[in-house]
């Protein structure tokens, strides 16, 4: 059991797929995300979060030579961090309570981003 839910069986999955095939006739497209008011805010928020994550991630990668060590050492540190994060996401996260750990992790990300901004501000003031 993952997250206190029973495992999905093949028969249940086939039954769900049969029901889904009936719903596909609605011809929903990507524009449906913006057309329906109930999905519009969720689409905007997901797009903003995706854009912010890409700016932070790509900004870090494009400025590797300014972090402090050699570019090769910086790349190895980032690759090791990504490997640890990937293993954590694949094996640990599915066993956690989603709501409380999401709040905790997003708060931690916010604090770390503020620390990064503070470090950048202090480096510029020197």
Q: 39-48, pLDDT tens digit by residue?
A: 888 888 888 9
Parent domain of 123: 98-126
Give every CB contact of residue 29 below 8 A, 6+ residues apart in sequence.
none
Question: What is the dihedral sign for C-alpha 54, 85, 104, 42?
Answer: positive
In a domain, 124, yes or no: yes
**Against a cut of 0.95, is the pTM above it?**
no
In a domain, 107, yes or no: yes
- Structural domain tally of the chain? 1
In a domain, 111, yes or no: yes
In a domain, 38, yes or no: no
In a domain, 65, yes or no: no
Q: What is the pLDDT of residues 1-40, one digit of tens each?
A: 556 777 778 888 787 777 666 655 567 777 877 787 888 8
In a domain, 36, yes or no: no
């Amino acid at each position: 059991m993952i997250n206190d839910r029973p495992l999905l069986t093949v028969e249940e999955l086939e039954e769900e797929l049969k029901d889904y095939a009936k719903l596909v006739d609605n011809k929903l497209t990507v524009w449906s995300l913006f057309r329906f008011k109930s999905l519009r805010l969720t689409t905007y928020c997901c797009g903003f979060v995706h854009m912010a994550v890409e700016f932070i991630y790509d900004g870090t990668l494009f400025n590797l030579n300014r972090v402090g060590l050699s570019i090769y050492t910086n790349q190895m540190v980032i690759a090791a961090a990504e490997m640890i994060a990937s293993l954590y996401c694949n094996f640990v996260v599915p066993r956690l309570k989603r709501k409380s750990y999401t709040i905790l992790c997003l708060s931690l990300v916010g604090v770390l981003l503020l620390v990064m901004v503070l470090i950048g501000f202090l480096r510029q003031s020197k």
